[in-house]
Structure 1
Amino acid sequence: MRNDNLTRTYMPRHRALARAAAAYQPAEHASASSALSEALAQYYIKQEPYYRLINDEVELYEAAYSVRMPIMLKGPTGCGKTRFVEYMAWKLGKPLITVACNEDMTASDLVGRYLLDASGTRWQDGPLTVAARHGAICYLDEVVEARQDTTVVIHPLTDARRMLPLEKKGEVVEAHPDFQLVISYNPGYQSLMKDLKQSTKQRFGALDFNYPEHAVEAEIVAYESGVSLEIAKNLVHIGERARNLKGHGLDEGLSTRMLIYAGSLISKGVSPLAACRVALVRPITDDPDMRDALDSAVTTYF
């Protein structure tokens, strides 16, 4: 007896990909292909972004992209989620459209709206529609910052349908076969009022990100900022001390990004103590006692 239990769930997605591929034959759509390349030219990553492989995240992402699985990147701020997406877009040779989500963002900001100009009314695609229509990777950064009634517009793109209804325009956009949706958020900021709905989470595969282990993070800080490896290791020590204070006076620890900022100032001739005050201590807290504790950590290593 034939058993389709293992394939039935994913066959609709395969059919959607095949249907979209059939609609995008270059020989039949030469002019459309030219317009496509023009629309996406600005979104290609021209140079290889520096990314230090941590585990098997590159291999897993490539497998997910091969089946166009939507991906969710979870991790603290400044740990490399955005850089990872940029690196993967470059490695795959795909355009990347990034949207910085915020609480004022509406569904129209994502999918598009009608605009008035000298010629009258015209429709302008939003970034999500551009990516779905032309085949880019669409990256919604810190998606949890957007309202839940806004994020639900991604649902038809993240299941077997792979389509985006444009209700105001009366059009349904079939997602291009190269389209993929990627979102990121910081689980440390979850709350009852600010979290992804289960109906959204369960449409994505997920990759966990965190701050790298000491030697790797020091290598990253040294490469990105231009300081010596010894100075980079001291900066990472400070970062690790600060991260131990998360939940004990600090809402968030020092990110790898902040350590790179401090290193960049040091590489430009700023004294380590001043660089750490400007890039590490002052931005993260206004509490006098916490500042004293962080300043003490800085003087321990510099």
Structure 2
Amino acid sequence: MMNSIAETLGKTRPFYQETGKEAAVFTHAFQNQIPVLLKGPTGTGKSRFVEYMAAVLGRPLITVSCHEETSSTDLIGRYIVKGAETVWIDGPLTTAVKTGAILYLDEMAEARPDVIVAIHPLTDHRRELYIDKLGETVSAGSDFMLVASFNPGYQRGYKELKPSTRQRFAGISFHYPDADTEKNILIRETGVDADVAARLVKIGGKIRHLRELGLAETASTRLLVDAARLIRSGLPKRLSVRTAIIEPLTDDDETIAALCDVADLMI
């Protein structure tokens, strides 16, 4: 089933710190009706970027968090029993196509293969959605845009996007920002003071280079923001770092202890 649908139109533009030409690429892709694939590790700002661009372009945003049970039916729609009638309910994909919204498939590779089959006609010159259960084909207007995210490092060896799918999208790569940019993000997002922000950025950078610990994920900017928020609210610095950065990364007691030792020296 679909995890969430969030529509953003007319809301305050969310903060997003550009690190390159990603906004210009996204805007031109929208104008030329080219779908976009956002590639990068967890917590590097992909979802926030889509929210930001939807606000910049003045388009509603529908977000679907994909998982292994997400099917084409979840996206396209289904019949439901309502009282004494059976009625059709559009799914988020159909709604986005009909209303000219931006549809964001977060972690698209996690979804079932039939999802990829359903979106293919929307990602080439046809820009059409076929609704099998209704026997209808819906053409997408110029305002509809398909955006998907993909974590290549996490998915490697598990669920990869096929070349035939990847080549239907323009790609934008996301990476962890440089230290100064990440520091500014923490200050802007949380109001934490510059010294604490700088120390959190150093901790994040150090953990990202500790490859010998074999962490499945590393310290993302999102985790640093969470730690900064806890510190800003009055939680002790060391406890904030352990709670928001270290504990989410591993369940191994020895690894937690090693990461705490590293962080304690910096905070």
If the TM-score is normalised by the length of the shorter chain, which range does it land in? over 0.9
- Name the count of aligned residue pairs: 263
SS at match of 2:19: coil
Partner of 1:97: 62
Q: Deviations over 1:27-63 (max 9, x none)?
A: xxxxxxxxxxxxx995415001001111111111111
Cα distance, 1:190 vs structure 2: 2.3
List gaps (5 residues or longer) in structure 1. Answer: 1-39
Is the contact made by 2:75 and 2:93 (CA closer than 8 Å) also made in structure 1? yes
Partner of 2:266: 301
Residues 195, 108 of structure 1: alpha-carbon distance in 2 compared, 3 angstrom cutoff: same
Cα distance, 1:288 vs structure 2: 2.1
Partner of 1:284: 249
Partner of 2:13: 48
Q: Distance in 2 between matches of 1:55 and 1:299?
A: 33
Partner of 2:37: 72
Q: Deviations over 1:73-125 (max 9, x none)?
A: 00000000000000000001011000000101111000001111114011111
Q: Deviations over 1:192-237 (max 9, x none)?
A: 4411121111100000001100000011011112211110110011
From 162, 184, 196, give the equivalent of 2:161.
Answer: 196
Instruction: Report the AA paired with residue 222 of structure 2.
Output: R
Q: Distance in 1 between matches of 2:243 and 2:7?
A: 34
Q: After the TM superposition, which residues 1-302 of structure 1 pair with which residues of structure 2 at under 5 Å, given as runs?
A: 42-44=7-9, 46-246=11-211, 248-302=213-267
Residues 180, 255 of structure 1: alpha-carbon distance in 2 compared, 3 angstrom cutoff: same
Q: More deviation in 208-217 or 149-158?
A: 149-158
Q: Distance in 1 between matches of 2:41 and 2:11?
A: 27
Compute the TM-score of the two structures, normalised by the length of structure 1: 0.84
Is the contact made by 1:163 and 1:174 (CA closer than 8 Å) also made in structure 2? yes
Q: Distance in 2 between matches of 1:131 and 1:233?
A: 41
Instruction: Report the AA paired with residue 189 of structure 1.
Output: Y
Q: Deviations over 1:172-207 (max 9, x none)?
A: 011122001000011111234411121111100000
SS at match of 2:244: helix
Q: Distance in 1 between matches of 2:6 and 2:114?
A: 31
Is the contact made by 2:8 and 2:55 (CA closer than 8 Å) also made in structure 1? no
Which structure has the bigger radius of gyration?
Answer: 1
Is the contact made by 2:121 and 2:129 (CA closer than 8 Å) also made in structure 1? yes
Q: Distance in 2 between matches of 1:176 and 1:138?
A: 13
Residues 216, 162 of structure 1: alpha-carbon distance in 2 compared, 3 angstrom cutoff: same
Q: Deviations over 1:249-271 (max 9, x none)?
A: 21111010000000000001111
Is the contact made by 1:249 and 1:290 (CA closer than 8 Å) also made in structure 2? no
Compute the TM-score of the two structures, normalised by the length of structure 2: 0.95
Q: Distance in 1 between matches of 2:7 and 2:229?
A: 28
Question: Identity rate of aligned residues, in percent?
Answer: 46
Q: Distance in 2 between matches of 1:141 and 1:175?
A: 20
SS at match of 2:87: strand
Q: Distance in 1 between matches of 2:68 and 2:155?
A: 15
List gaps (5 residues or longer) in structure 2. Answer: none
